């Protein structure tokens, strides 16, 4: 496996000054469209940025296999169920949602890589 390539940004001095004065505008102008820019990642960040996120596990004795819900700002929920060794999207809900439990990960044994 080859090491990742390092990207070097070589901008003229005047563009560097403009970047310091208005970083968001120039970030969008120069970085968007480059091969290492990921618009999907930006959409995910915008979806979860500054929102309340709750997780609720789905009981194993439900009609399907185990799963969980991601609740965003107590108004939208995205449900996932287990399909083999991964999770798939089950559906989504809108309206008032319940609040999750922040201690659901306390008893996990496996380390995060």
Whether pTM > 0.85 for this model: the answer is no
pLDDT for res 42 = 76
71/98 Cα distance (integer angstroms)? 8
pLDDT digits (tens, 9 = 90+) for 19-38: 777 777 766 666 665 655 66
Does position 58 have pLDDT exceeding 70, yes or no? yes
Cβ distance 104 to 54 under 8 Å?
A: no
pLDDT tens-place string over residues 62-101:
565 788 888 888 888 898 988 888 899 988 889 888 887 7
Side by side, the strands of the sheet bearing 53-58 are: 53-58, 67-72, 76-83, 86-94
């Amino acid at each position: 496996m080859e090491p990742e390539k390092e990207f070097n940004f070589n901008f003229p001095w005047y563009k560097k000054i403009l970047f310091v004065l208005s970083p968001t505008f120039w970030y969008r102008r120069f970085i968007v469209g480059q091969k290492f820019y990921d618009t999907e990642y930006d959409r995910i960040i915008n979806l979860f940025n500054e929102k309340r996120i709750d997780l609720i596990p789905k009981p194993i004795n439900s009609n399907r296999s185990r799963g969980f819900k991601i609740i965003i700002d107590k108004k939208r929920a995205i449900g996932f169920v287990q399909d083999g060794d991964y999770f798939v999207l089950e559906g989504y809900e809108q309206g008032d949602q319940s609040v999750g439990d922040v201690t659901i990960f306390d008893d996990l044994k496996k380390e995060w890589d």
